[in-house]
């Protein structure tokens, strides 16, 4: 059987000149392991005097993961966290019972043209942790485990892979990897995790003689080793983990195993019961409940 079980070609949405490709959730596949949302942001040039402004918005039942290849963003949340994120570092925000955050281009980056390119993903929390207290953690690139050998550079963003374990406090069994392959290099992904996918970010990969271009989510067949080759060099995000402990409902920025919990979160946001982000006056209304504001995600 083919090692690649499914190929998802995400549609590209243009948010005012800023391209976004959403690979998860899709019609073909709702999730891979605990990953229920996967967006590629950019690459895009933000002109001087402008920037990306993700206004304050709420989350429940998930952890958000911001990972950049280029550029910078400034995170603020209702816990009072203020953190600049740069390429190779990890912002891991556990929403749990509820959190509000914003992500914006830092003021200093708006003084000149800047490039922004990265991945925004969501990890659904296990049922036992869906209502855990919200938390935020930042891990600089230098603190993440890495391996270099034979033209392969692997950085473990979160979870575990082989003997490597990331410092990110994930609440479920998962792996998330930034893999860079030089021209002609190859990498074998073991079957240790139940569900796995590969997303070529730059360059093409070859699996079992078939070529897959950048911008596609390759859902891999369970329980078989998969060899990725990069004839011209490539950068690939690898992700997955154990299957979730039951289905998840997704509405806007809310994820939960309970439809009733999502309805409660919707009402709480409309009634402004979520804690605000200190220093932020703007917010994004619940869809359909007020004036539309361009938002991402």
Residue 291 in this model has a pLDDT that exceeds 90: no
Q: Which residue has the higher pLDDT, 232 or 18?
A: 232
- Mind listing the pLDDT tens digit for each residue in 211-247? 999 999 999 999 899 999 999 999 999 999 999 999 9
Task: Give pLDDT, residue 75.
Answer: 97
What residue ranges in 195-233 does DSSP mark as E strands? 195-202, 205-207, 210-212, 217-220, 226-230
% of the chain exceeding 90 in pLDDT = 93
List the beta bridge partners of residue 65: 92, 121
Looking at residue 234, its pLDDT comes to 98
Compute the Cα dihedral for 108, 111, 117, 120 and give only its sign: positive
Q: What is the pTM of this model?
A: 0.94
Quickly state the pLDDT bin for 125 (edges 50, 70, 90).
very high
- pLDDT mean over 1-13: 92
Question: Comparing C-alpha atoms, which of 105, 104, 58, 68 is closest to residue 275?
Answer: 58
CA distance 128 to 137: 20
**What is the radius of gyration, based on Cα positions, of the chain?**
19
């Amino acid at each position: 059987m083919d090692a690649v079980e499914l190929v998802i070609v995400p549609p590209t949405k243009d948010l005012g000149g800023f391209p976004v490709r959403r690979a998860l959730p899709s019609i073909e596949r709702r999730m891979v392991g605990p990953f229920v949302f996967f967006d590629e942001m950019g690459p895009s040039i933000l002109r001087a005097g402008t920037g990306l402004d993700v206004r304050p918005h709420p989350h429940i039942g998930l952890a958000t993961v911001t990972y950049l290849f280029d550029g910078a963003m400034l995170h603020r949340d209702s816990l009072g966290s203020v953190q600049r994120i740069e390429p190779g570092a990890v912002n891991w925000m556990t929403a749990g019972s509820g959190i509000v955050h914003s992500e914006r281009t830092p003021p200093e980056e708006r003084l000149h043209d800047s490039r922004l390119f990265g991945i925004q993903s969501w990890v659904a929390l296990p049922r036992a942790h869906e209502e855990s207290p919200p938390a935020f953690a930042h891990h600089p690139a230098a603190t993440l485990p890495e391996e270099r050998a034979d033209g392969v550079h692997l950085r473990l963003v979160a979870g575990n892979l082989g003997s490597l374990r990331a410092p990110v406090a994930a609440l479920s069994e998962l792996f998330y990897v930034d893999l860079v392959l030089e021209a002609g290099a190859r990498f074998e992904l073991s079957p240790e995790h139940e569900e796995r996918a590969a997303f070529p970010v730059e360059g093409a990969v070859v699996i079992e003689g078939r070529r897959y271009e950048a911008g596609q989510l390759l859902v891999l067949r369970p329980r078989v080793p998969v060899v990725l080759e990069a004839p011209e060099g490539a950068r690939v995000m690898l992700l997955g983990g154990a299957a979730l402990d039951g289905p998840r409902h997704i509405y806007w920025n809310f994820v939960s195993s309970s439809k009733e919990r999502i309805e409660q979160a919707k009402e709480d946001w409309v009634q402004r019961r979520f804690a605000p982000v200190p220093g932020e006056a703007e917010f994004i209304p619940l869809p359909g409940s007020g004036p539309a504001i361009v938002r991402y995600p």
